[in-house]
Structure 1
Amino acid sequence: MTEIQPSASTRHRLVIVGGGFGGLEAVHNLRNADMDITLIDQRNHHLFQPLLYQVATSTLATSEIAWPIRHLLRKYKNVKTLLGTIDGVDTAARTVSTADGETIPYDTLVLATGARHAYFGHDDWEPFAPGLKTLEDATTIRRRILTAFEKAEREPDPAKRAEYLTFVMIGGGPTGVEVAGTIADLARDTLKGDFRVIDPASARVVLIEGGPRVLPAFSEDMSAYAKQALEKLGVTVHLGNPVTECHTDGVEFGGQSLRAQTIIWAAGVQASPAAKWLNVPADRVGRVVVNADLTAPGYPEIFVIGDTATVANGGKGTVPGIAPAAKQQGVHIAKTIKARLVGDQSPRPFVYHHDGDLATIGKRAAVTDFGWIKLKGYIAWWLWGLAHIYFLIGLRNRLAVALSWLWISVSGARSARLITQKDAAEEANTP
């Protein structure tokens, strides 16, 4: 293994690309190390992605789940933060290049560049079925959901009105289940009494999953409970038939057509181009197939973590692409980098510790599976909420989110029910 040594003229230069869970955890654990750290992200904020769907469904405001990266790192004197987009890595020169032409040298590089939603070769579906990975995605989906009710209120044609009041979720993982359940709550509870022509409770929420069950990462009994809980909320669940077409009028699946004006995609992800930058092996969704110590094959000075990497998990497949896993990887590489700086080059394979799986279904039910204990229903919902509040950053945000959830649970009201954007086509038609 090539030893990592500080360059002749400067301290050791660590570049971390990506301010998500893994990248920030690495920075936090290296905040007192004798090195210069540069963190680069294309956005100026760190996003608590597990609650992103609650922004999309009007439960939380954007400021309650996102924080300025500069503010989070302001006390770390060895850290410099840059706002920029990386478009390549020169492994020979050990530099990364930005979209605006800047070249940044490194001695050690960490790629934690995340992933975007993938459409399995049908990228033309994205305008009709946006995914949910960024704050921009969330506010776009929130606008489409709320605008659909507004358009239905003004639509005289019953058939067209039914299209506006049909909401389709594609994908039965945690995001799909959580969004479908929350839209059902929004329609049947939050919007009750707000309209004069339509009855929001008549809205049709449909979840389409190509596999045999929802929440496939959970046990079969938990998946069955989640399906029953969704149906109790009024969600129609279709299993076993993937979507074959997605267009401006709706979706097609299992030989049938469903007309709908609001479609949300949660069926797949595509990693960033990191594997192409390094010219190393990748899995089918573009994630770098890393070594046991989370380094890229052939490049011991480059670590790849989070949704950018596929990591073997012993005999249990691969490490899941969830926030706790990324945080554990951030801690691991920080320890490895510290050890290398003092001359310890011994192998340090990453060992993942799975804390459990959680998913919520509407505002009063959830499923939690910690292996040694499985819970479902209202108690699981409280546990899910406490776990998410614990991982939020800052007392203010914890209190704000807790109070929002408590108020919604008691009253059904959602204060973040704001339409803040328009499609380009809508803008063009606005007088």
Structure 2
Amino acid sequence: MSPHIVVVGGGFAGLWAVRALARSPVRITLVDRRNHHLFQPLLYQVATAGLSSPDIAAPLRHILRRQRNVEIVLAEVAEIDVEARAVRTSNGRRLDYDTLVLATGSTHAYFGHEEWAEDAPGLKTLDDALEIRRRVLLAFENAEMAATPEERDAWLHFAVVGGGPTGVELAGTLAEIARHTLRDEFRHINTATARVRLIEAGPRVLSSFPESLSQRARAQLESLGVEVLTGAPVADIDARGYRIGDNRVAARTVLWAAGVAASPLGRMLGVETDRVGRVPVGPGLSVPGHPEIFVAGDLAALQQDGRSVPGVAPAAKQMGSHVARVISARLAGEAAPPFRYRDYGNLATIGRMAAVVDVHGLRLSGALAWWFWLVAHVFFLIGFRSRLIVLLNWGWSYWTYQRHARIIFRDGTPEPTDPADDAPPGPAPCASEAPAEGRVDHAT
């Protein structure tokens, strides 16, 4: 019988590994708790109503429909028995493997303050994006019916915590929504007065970019109307706002983009992980002492040239493809070269005709960088239909400032107004400072 490979995770790393094994004499079982592959670099566009979910996601069964050596299992992994070489899923199924590939990516990290998650959602999944969209759109609806100026101002204050690419993209787009998309649509509020604040604990935004581009990004954000606050870690967050030092700020919409932690699945292997839960791997991306287990994408901890391989989509794709090469080489009785990450550069969009690009010494900002960013992201979308739809939607948004996906899902009823809700609270307990966001915008 052909060797059985179990791949856990249908993100960039897992999907690229599966597809690269299409012609290999193996049986593959792909396990994922969601039925779709998600193009995470554009997830913020769903969160800000620029794109719909199907524009950036495709069913795994559709993507792999012609690859006959793959079976897809929709389930969560409940247990990994390393000694027995078996994976047990949430629906009670046991999957015995010859080779295991873990590529389950990362999740939000609140630096010991998990209680903040309810009031400051992060952005990793389509569910997260739809929840953020719901909160943002409802904030304007609640502001429209506010009973007092203080209550209105609290609803019109949008705080984004974390100055990495995700935070910058969210803040810039929120400013455009307030000042252009929603202009003249409300009768009792001026949406252009909405306050969008980007809060970064470190000394500058986009810390993974050269300092010159970081400064340009800040200038472009401020030109859009975003208030950029650096060197200011958030000390507390609740449903009514946030606190920086002793300064309490009323804000009903706080979004989290300040850090990530590896998927908890890595700890099921029973090996030592790093401080954020990533699994250290060797140069072939296998777990030391367990050559039959590979870890790829955000879940893998690997040093190259004295630096960690970043948790971005290109790295995940390269890791997934390399795992497939190693497996194929082993089947042929050959040795595969060690993994080598090729850094194609950094890109971040800020707003309409505003972006920064750092690609092998080529440093761009403004309109030219925005076009570069657009072409690169559309090119890497899976499927012609996705590319065509994204181009049409972005073209429409560019010329009209409109965002077609402004539908509020779930309960769209604005909250009851209560002036007491925005009364200044008593002193909040001090929480430890959170570190700045690293380069984690395009997780797997």
Q: How many residue pairs were aligned?
A: 416
- Checking the alignment, whether the CA contact within 8 Å between 2:235 and 2:243 is kept in structure 1 is yes
User: Structure 2 CA distance, aligned partners of 1:136 and 1:105?
Assistant: 31
How many angstroms apart in 1 are the aligned matches of 2:245 and 2:45?
Answer: 30
Q: Which residue does the alignment assign to 2:434?
A: none
Name the CA distance, whole Å, in 1 between partners of 2:219 and 2:242.
24
1:395 aligns with 2:395: no
Q: 2:326 aligns with which of 336, 339, 356?
A: 336
1:425 Cα deviation after fit: 11
- Cα shift at 1:426: 6.6
How far did residue 245 of structure 1 move? 0.4
Q: Measure the CA separation in 2 of the matches of 1:280 and 1:237.
A: 41
Q: Is this contact kept in 1: 2:138–2:412, CA < 8 A?
A: no
Partner of residue 109, structure 2: 118
The aligned runs of 1:11-90 (5 Å cut-off) are 11-90=2-81
Q: How do 1:344-355 and structure 2 match up within 5 A?
A: 344=334, 346=335, 348-355=337-344
Deviation at 1:18, TM superposition (A): 0.2
CA RMSD of aligned residues (A): 1.4
SS at match of 2:308: coil
Distance in 2 between residues matched to 1:410 and 1:146, nearest whole Å = 22
Is the contact made by 1:107 and 1:301 (CA closer than 8 Å) also made in structure 2? yes
CA distance in structure 2 between the partners assigned to 1:426 and 1:393 by the alignment: 39
CA contact (8 A) 1:41 1:85 kept: yes
**Greater Cα shift, 248-257 or 16-25:** 248-257
Structure 2: gaps (5+ residues): 417-444
8 A Cα contact 1:275 1:281, kept in partner: no
How far did 1:405 drift? 1.0
* Residue matched to 2:267: 276
1:304 and 2:302 matched: no
Query: Are residues 1:219 and 2:181 paired?
Result: no
Q: In structure 2, how many angstroms separate the alpha carbons of the residues matched to 1:149 and 1:287?
A: 39
In 2, distance between residues paired with 1:104 and 1:292? Answer: 27
Quickly say closer, same or farther: Cα 1:413–1:360, change in 2 above 3 A: same
CA positional deviation for 1:254: 3.1
What is the DSSP-based 3-state SS (H/G/I as helix, E as strand, rest coil) of the residue aligned with 1:353? coil
- Residue 180 of structure 2 corresponds to which residue in structure 1? 189
1:408 Cα offset (Å): 1.0
Match of 1:370 in 2: 359
C-alpha distance in 1 between matches for 2:288 and 2:270? 10
2: distance between equivalents of 1:379 and 1:324?
A: 22
Any residues of structure 2 matched to 1:191-270 within 5 Å, and which? 191-270=182-261
**SS of the residue 1:54 aligns to:** helix
> What secondary structure is seen at the aligned counterpart in 2 of 1:181?
helix
1:129 aligns with 2:120: yes
Deviation per CA, 1:288-318, whole angstroms, max 9, x where unpaired? 1111111112110000010111111123x11
SS in structure 1 of the partner of residue 130 of structure 2: helix
Deviation at 1:57, TM superposition (A): 0.4
Q: How far apart are 1:194 and its partner, in Å?
A: 0.6
> Residue 197 of structure 2 contacts residue 226 of structure 2 at CA under 8 Å; is this kept in 1?
yes
Q: Contact between 1:292 and 1:312, CA under 8 Å: does it hold in 2?
A: no
- Between the aligned residues of both structures, percent identity stands at 52
Q: Of the candidates 402, 405, 409, which is equivalent to residue 398 of structure 2? A: 409
Q: How far apart are the structure 1 equivalents of 2:193 and 2:413?
A: 29
- Please tell me whether the aligned partners of residues 46 and 68 of structure 1 are also in contact (alpha carbons under 8 angstroms): yes
Given the alignment of the two structures, is residue 318 of structure 1 paired with residue 308 of structure 2, yes or no? yes
CA distance in 2 between counterparts of 1:239 and 1:289 reads 32
**In structure 2, what is the Cα distance between the partners aligned to 1:128 and 1:152?**
18
TM-score by length of 1: 0.95
Contact 1:272 1:308 in 2 (8 A): yes
- Residues 294 and 304 in structure 1, CA contact (< 8 A), matched pair in contact too: yes
Unaligned segments of structure 1, at least 5 residues: 1-9
**Cα distance in 1 between the residues matched to 2:340 and 2:347:** 21
- Find the counterpart in structure 2 of residue 154 from structure 1: 145
- For 1:285-304, list aligned pairs within 5 A: 285-304=276-295
Report SS of the residue matched to 1:121.
Answer: coil
Task: State which of 371, 382, 401 in structure 2 corresponds to 1:382.
Answer: 371
1:11-68 Cα offsets, whole Å, 9 max, x none, are: 1000000000011111111011101000000000000000000000010000100000
Q: Amino acid of the residue matched to residue 222 of structure 1? A: L
Indicate the structure whose relative CO is greater, using CA pairs within 8 Å and at least 6 residues apart: 2
Letter in 1 for 2:270: N
Q: Once the 2 structures are TM-superposed, how far is the Cα of residue 156 of structure 1 from its aligned partner? A: 2.4
- 1:94 corresponds, among 85, 90, 95, to 85
Change (3 A) 1:37 1:329: same
Query: For 2:235, what is the secondary structure of its paired residue?
Result: strand
Aligned partners of 1:169 and 1:180 also within 8 Å: yes
1:424 Cα deviation from its structure 2 partner: 11
- More displaced stretch, 16-25 vs 254-263: 254-263
CA contact (8 A) 2:378 2:390 kept: yes
